[in-house]
Amino acid sequence: MMLLSGDRACCVISASSACGNSVGTPAQGSWSCSGVILSQSPGIVVCHGAIFCPFLLEEVIAADQGIWSQCSVLLANSFSPDIQIQVLCAAESRSKGNGKGVLGKDLGACSPALGFNPLSNQQGSPGTLRQHEAKLLMMVPCPEFQNTFSKVFTRAEQWHFCRSEDEQEHGALLDDLHYLHWFALLEIPDLNSPGIAQVSCVLAESLRKGDMLFACGSPFGSFCPDIFINTLSKGIVSNLAGEGNVLILTDARCLPGTEGGGVFVFSEDGFNLVGIIVAPLCWKANEWVGLTLVCSIGHILENVRSALVGSGSSMKTWWPPVQLVAKPVGKMAVSPGPAQHLLSAVVLVECGQVWGSGVVVSSRLVLTCRHVVNEASGVCVRVQHSPEKGCVLKGKVVFTTNDDSPYDIAVVELEESLLCFAKPVSATKFGAGIVASNTKDNSVGATYPHLNYSVPITVLQPAVLEYSRTGDLHGFQELNRANDRIRLVWRLQRKTTEVPHSKL
């Protein structure tokens, strides 16, 4: 996954209420997920409906036990009257260059010696994230998705799309085959921004297996959104099912909290919204399946339109101005694969029985991770110039960060100069360089293999240049003096802010 700069379509939705939920347990605290801003004027957001299930009124459930299969719409009066909904989204586009960081600050603002590019904005500077109060307009089902889903994902195959503790807490209300096909429409009154273009929505019927897709959401919902919001995952169409391809499976890696986020296809017209994430993770029997379940946006919009017409609600007055009509997908744009000469900059670093990857940043300098070299003084570096030609060089470890440093970095100097290698071009603003580790939740021992810690090259580049010119390691020593704020970012922690927990 990578950070998608400058995108304002993604948002994070949190919902809370002091009243009890439909199954008699308190709906205290906040549930959260991702969402997509369909329109800026008026401010309309679409997200998955699951986070609002705990706030259905008891009398609504009592009146119709088959609500999930029989209703065509649930209006706001079906939910707790004191439900509070917040939408968190980017206030404005992030920096577009000129030596600025992702927050629009000078790269040297936090650590001049390293040019540290801050990822977390604890001071709440303007131009990053903004919170809006929102109201629930309606929840609508997508029966076409439900019918297709029930045929493809049968109970006999033991598919699960939420954690067991969620099923126990909310009982039959969160039964897999009952709630997955519901979607919520929200209004943000103060989001009105005349002149800003609406999201372009396209029909999924033009998709084919293997087409490239981009999933955008906020992993873990409202947990650390200043770090995770607008997280982009690239993948392909793994499979399609149903009339008009209402059900889409993609291998674009998503994590809990991205449900309700958007799935986009890139065509000659640019990025177009083609679906909404229904379930970012799923299990078949007891085996995890790394696919993301998506519902076609075209079918969702058609069911919203039908619900507005059938309800006779005054809300349909805003539908014509929104003009959210899904159109056919234009000619697909093909993204070139990685060039072979760039791959030659990635090397294999071997230290006894331990090995890992490294990046060649100069003719005699390789960056890798501290845990790869493991306090060794010498390593072997395997360089693959081409599929047919490679070599093995010896190198000495000239620097490693301390064990308590948040930066897991080691510097290896080769005994011989590389005469032929593709020197990578360093990013002038935010750019991933060195992958340090997977993300792990120490409280439960869970590891998320598709969410990695990476050290931005903007942190390392000044030190690399200084050492290349003078042989002075002072710049790298600064990695051991990271301040508390940086340490909190790498631990995915905050100082005092209470963070609503994600629904999943």
**393 vs 314, which has greater pLDDT?**
393
Could you tell me the residue ranges of all domains in the chain? 6-91+128-322, 340-490
pLDDT for the residue 168 = 46
What local confidence, expressed as pLDDT, does residue 268 receive?
A: 78
d(CA 116, CA 33): 30
Q: How many CA atoms lie within 13 A of 50 on its CB side?
A: 34
- CA torsion through residues 120, 123, 129, 135, sign: positive
Look at residue 114 and tell me whether its pLDDT is greater than 50: no
User: 490 or 187: whose pLDDT is higher?
Assistant: 187
Hey, do 6-91+128-322 and 340-490 end up sharing a CATH topology, with the first three levels equal? Answer: yes
Question: 133 or 112: whose pLDDT is higher?
Answer: 133
How confident is the model over 373-409, as pLDDT tens digits? 988 888 999 988 766 677 899 999 999 999 888 888 9
> What phi-psi label fits residue 114: left (phi over 0), alpha (psi between -120 and 50 degrees) or beta?
alpha
Task: In whole angstroms, give the CA distance from residue 211 to residue 333.
Answer: 9
- Examine the pLDDT at 4 and tell me if it is beyond 70: no
**The pLDDT of residue 120 is above 80:** no
Span of 268-282, 318-332, 450-464 with lowest mean pLDDT: 318-332
Q: Above 90 in pLDDT, residue 336?
A: no
CATH code of the domain occupying 340-490? 2.40.10.10
Q: Are strands 182-188 and 410-414 parallel, antiparallel or unpaired?
A: unpaired
Quote the mean pLDDT of the chain. Answer: 75
**Average pLDDT over every residue of 299-303:** 93
Range scoring the smallest mean pLDDT among 123-127, 343-347, 485-489, 496-500? 123-127
| Distance (Å, whole) CA 122 – CA 470 | 36
Confidence band for 3, pLDDT divided at 50, 70 and 90 = very low
Tokens 């017409």: give the residue: 309
In the predicted structure, residue 489 carries a pLDDT above the cut 70:
yes
Tokens of 292: 């993301």
Q: What is the pLDDT of residues 163-201, one digit of tens each?
A: 554 444 444 334 545 778 999 999 998 876 554 567 888
Q: Say if residue 53's pLDDT is above 80.
A: yes
Please give the helix or strand (H or E) that residue 235 lies within, else none.
strand 231-241
**How is residue 303 written in tokens?**
């069911």
Question: Does the pLDDT at position 123 exceed 90?
Answer: no
Percent of the chain with pLDDT over 90: 28
Topology classification of domain 6-91+128-322: Thrombin, subunit H (2.40.10)
Q: In whole angstroms, what is the distance from residue 486 CA to residue 20 CA?
A: 39
Can you give the pLDDT at residue 2? 32
Specify the pLDDT at position 116.
34
Is the sign of the CA dihedral 259, 260, 261, 263 positive or negative? positive
Beta strands in 142-181 (DSSP E): 159-160
pLDDT: which is higher, 74 or 171 = 74
Lowest mean pLDDT among 104-108, 303-307, 421-425: 104-108
Q: Can you give the pLDDT at residue 55?
A: 87
- Confidence check: pLDDT of 33 > 50: yes
Q: Residue 477 is inside which H or E element, if any?
A: helix 474-477
Q: What average pLDDT does range 208-220 have in this prediction?
A: 91
The whole model's pTM is what? 0.75
> Of 236-250, 330-344, 346-360, 424-438, which one has max mean pLDDT?
236-250
pLDDT beyond 60 at 17: yes
If one compares 87 and 229, the residue with the highest pLDDT of the two is 87
pLDDT of residue 238: 92
Contact 190, 469 (CB under 8 A): no
Spatial distance between the Cα atoms of 160 and 153, rounded to a whole number of angstroms: 9
pLDDT at 483 over 90: no
